[in-house]
Structure 1
Amino acid sequence: MSYLKIYIHIVFSTKNRFPYFATLEQRIKVWKHIKDNASEKGIFLDMVNGYSDHCHCLISLGSNQNIENIVQLIKGESSYWINKNCLTKEKFAWQDEYFAVSVSESKIEQVRNYIKNQNTHHQKKTFDEEYQDFMERYNFE
């Protein structure tokens, strides 16, 4: 048996960064569904949270999983579920692109706290500012 511990912090936004999830109740419902669905699909989703226009996931990859497929499963199924359950007034969609960065074992708790505290974090900083920070911190071009 192989043993893996490969943590990935994934961030993706709503289409055009539209704030579809205006209420905390809406966000809780969507994040819970994403967590439950991931579990059903054999995806180890350690932490999920976000704000009105984006989602953060901390995932541990399995030996037969890759980032692209995991993101596609999470985003595709959750879009379908959100629309089927009429959770937004307009047709819902996620943006095509996403961030994905590896997380060192020594930083797992720090990333968990960062994801857990999205509501507080976004009282001070917009997603655009967070996006720019990610771009600079991880040298994305």
Structure 2
Amino acid sequence: MSKQQNYLALWYHLIWATKHRLPFIQRAWKWELYGRMRDFCETKGYHLDFINGIEDHVHLLLSPKPQYAISDIVRDIKRDSYFWVKEKGFCGDEFGWQDGYGALTVSPSQVDAVRNYISHQEVHHRQISFEDELNKIRQIVHISHT
């Protein structure tokens, strides 16, 4: 009798913005926020490989186990980080995440390229706005709104 084995390489590039795309995420505490998000993912069993962003949005490179739905993962990370920011008092009562998110699958051969892209967000956004970035991504991968 043969033993069934599953081999999976599931990678996602997740993107979401702050509420109304306001510049809430400040340099003084953004890495602390990203550390919290990383720790949360670890406790939940999601593999957060890389995270970065700018004042109004975040990018995550994630490789979760197949039993987790991406919508649940995003909901969980947003919820935990929202309450963490509130608890820390970084933005008063103003902070929030937008309701939606972007989720793109990433070929294992492109993981390094996506990691590099995410790592250079500050430089990247000196040249292109978040809205223009999203429009470009939508065009490249033929995404419509859902």
Bin for the TM-score computed over the shorter chain: over 0.9
Does the 8 Å CA contact 2:45/2:64 hold for their aligned counterparts? no
Deviation at 1:131, TM superposition (A): 1.4
Distance in 1 of aligned mates of 2:94 and 2:86: 6
Is 2:81 the partner of 1:78?
yes
Structure 2 letter corresponding to 1:18:
L
Secondary structure of the 2:29 match is helix
TM-score (norm 1): 0.93
Which of 105, 109, 121 is the equivalent residue of 1:102? 105
CA-to-aligned-CA distance 1:57-107 (integer Å, 9 cap, x gap) = 111120211101110111111011111111114421100111101001111
Unpaired segments ≥5 residues, structure 1? none
Deviation at 1:110, TM superposition (A): 0.2
Deviation at 1:130, TM superposition (A): 0.8
CA-to-aligned-CA distance 1:106-133 (integer Å, 9 cap, x gap) = 1100000001111111121111111111
- Residue equivalent to 1:4: 8
Distance in 2 of aligned mates of 1:126 and 1:63: 33
Distance in 1 of aligned mates of 2:6 and 2:70: 19
Is 2:48 the partner of 1:45?
yes
Secondary structure of the 2:38 match is helix
Is 2:38 the partner of 1:35?
yes
Distance in 2 of aligned mates of 1:9 and 1:15: 20
Is 2:65 the partner of 1:62?
yes
Distance in 2 of aligned mates of 1:5 and 1:105: 7
Is 2:22 the partner of 1:18?
yes
Distance in 2 of aligned mates of 1:19 and 1:98: 17
Structure 1 letter corresponding to 2:13:
H
Distance in 2 of aligned mates of 1:59 and 1:16: 25
Report the number of matched residues: 140
Distance in 2 of aligned mates of 1:2 and 1:91: 45
Distance in 2 of aligned mates of 1:61 and 1:33: 17
Distance in 2 of aligned mates of 1:36 and 1:30: 10
Structure 1 letter corresponding to 2:61:
L
Structure 2 letter corresponding to 1:65:
Y
